[in-house]
Amino acid sequence: MIKLGSKIHDLGKALMTPISVIAAAGIFLGLAAALQNPAVTGETFTQMKTLQLVIGFIRQVSGALFANLPLFFAVATAMGLANAEKATAAFSAVIGFVGLHVGVNYSLLAQNITPETITVAKLTAKGMTESDAMIYAAEFTNTLGIFTYNMSVLGGVLVGLITMWLHNRFYTIVLPTAIAFFGGRRFVPIVTVLVLPVVGVLMSLIWPTIAQGIQWIGELIGRTGEIGTFIYATSERLLIPTGLHHIINETVRFTPIGGVTTVDNQSIVGALNIFNAALANPGLIPDAVTQQATRFLAQGKIPVMMFGLPAAALAMYHCARPEHKGRVKALMLAGGLASFTTGITEPLEFCFIFVSPVLYILHAVLTGLSFVLMQMLHVMIGNVQGGAIDFLIFGVLGGSRTHWWYPLILGIIYAPLYYFSFRWVILRMQIKTPGREDENDAEERAKPAQGTGEKTKNIIIGLGGEGNITAVDCCFTRLRVKVKDMAQIQDGTLMKTGAMGVKRITDTDVHVIYGPQVEQVANLVKAELSGIA
């Protein structure tokens, strides 16, 4: 069970690799869509042929990235979960991805299911209603030119998981001398190309049942309306300390639970995919459909990330003891700016979610309420982060149809609500937010900043020393470390290095929150451990 929990957290981390690329691609796509909108830039600008060709090129590149998301997830999953020889795992995942869909295609052809037999015209001629025919036809797609079931990123993650298992099982295999050349890491793509097509055939037999189950969950969330949105958004915030919020996010962004629509006879699955398809294909997706997708995306985060949490940071600063305000000011300013501009919130959230369940639950409920209100007001702002960048590009530049002023109005209400509620709870319940810790802890944190080399060494010491560390990686804000003995972790030492929090995930996994600069921290720690620092 412990090993399973560790793998689930590793999966969440692996999924962040394609998400970071897609988030950036989404910003480019949003800018390109705005620059090609006469209502935003004017008719003269949109008629500049050379410039519009460049913008169109950007849209094509971004669209190609979104179209191949399942492949990216397959590669990221296998590479992220491989024990070693990650490049081999990634290469094998590409082979496995093609093999899976070839297996599905072969099985479909054997059942006489082809692109010609699933057209709406053919299905209605057999007695189906037009709506049922469209729903059935949407179950299929072309992936890398292969006619197959539309398994979206679930198919990619499945390929990645199977490839990872095969890789970890066989990358050290030793074959007889006569065929020794094909042993070790060379054996992994070979066994992958043997196994995954068979898995594809089996998946073709059970996928319709799985798809019906996912569709049922999606319809249930749709029927519950604002209640379903509230449950999703509140749960996503409550899962922040565990790191499992990535899993629930990717579920609504890339599976039918987040919505399904059709563009040019191609099924678009998942909230983020629908929103990006709407940007790439202006006018082909009704605004009502896009709004149902964006209720899971950035619009509900904007009032919280741009206004609520920065106001909470101000409250924590004002509640700090006078002698610690200088240190706390720097911490709150950095966290507040990260939240406001990019929607990265963990540096601020980890200042209070472990010391005050009341503030933690209040924050989660207010986030859920924000999502619900944005849905009720028919806001249509997508992407994944929810900071000022998303607000400007996908809201303001998207024009009046996005109803961008509603997040702004709610944000103006949320700022004092967060400020005064946080300040009241902190003072009334004597919450030990930054600058209000016990005197000994405060004195330790107030010491002069450590140099880069000293800080890196202290991080290693805080993690129990070199002998206790088995793997180091990071996501957007967390240093993710696998250790042998959790008892050797020294929270106090880690907090002195600038960490905002230390979270034990399993008996072997610990997350140390450093904020947006965590990748630099991870690289320095890896270099120190490898002896090249």
User: At what angle are helices 152-170 and 86-110 packed, to 10 degrees?
Assistant: 130
Q: Give the Cβ contact number of residue 456 at 10 Å.
A: 21
Q: Which of 152, 172, 185 is nearest to 74 (CA)?
A: 152
129 CB contacts (<8 Å, ≥6 apart)?
none
DSSP designation for 402: G
Q: Which of 271, 276, 268 is nearest to 233 (CA)?
A: 271
SS3 128: coil
- C-alpha 339: how far from chain center: 16
Q: Which of 257, 258, 265 is nearest to 290 (CA)?
A: 258
204 CB contacts (<8 Å, ≥6 apart)?
103, 104, 107, 108, 111, 149
Q: Residue 70 is encoded by which pair of tokens? A: 């399942």
Instruction: Tell me the C-alpha distance between 289 and 261, whole Å.
Output: 8
Per-residue CA distances from 310 to 49, 94, 316, 384, 503 (Å): 43, 43, 10, 19, 23
Residues 488-495: contacts with CB within 8 Å, 24+ apart? 488/463, 488/464, 489/462, 489/463, 489/464, 490/461, 490/462, 490/463, 490/464, 491/462, 492/441, 492/444, 492/462, 493/458, 493/461, 493/462, 494/458, 494/459, 494/462, 494/463, 495/441, 495/444, 495/445
User: Could you confirm whether 475 is annotated as catalytic?
Assistant: yes
- C-alpha 288: how far from chain center: 24
SS3 146: strand
Length of the chain: 533
Q: Residue 274 is encoded by which pair of tokens? A: 């629908």
Q: Which of 504, 514, 507 is nearest to 485 (CA)?
A: 507
Q: Contact 339/276 with Cβ under 8 angstroms?
A: no
DSSP 327-375: HHHHHHHHHHHHHHHH---HHHHTTTTTT-HHHHHHHHHHHHHHHHHHH
Q: Contact 196/103 with Cβ under 8 angstroms?
A: yes
454 CB contacts (<8 Å, ≥6 apart)?
none
319, 351, 474, 475: the catalytic one is 475
Q: What is the identity of the amino acid at 420?
A: F
Instruction: Tell me the C-alpha distance between 13 and 19, whole Å.
Output: 10
Per-residue CA distances from 379 to 288, 294, 483 (Å): 10, 8, 45
Catalytic residues: 475
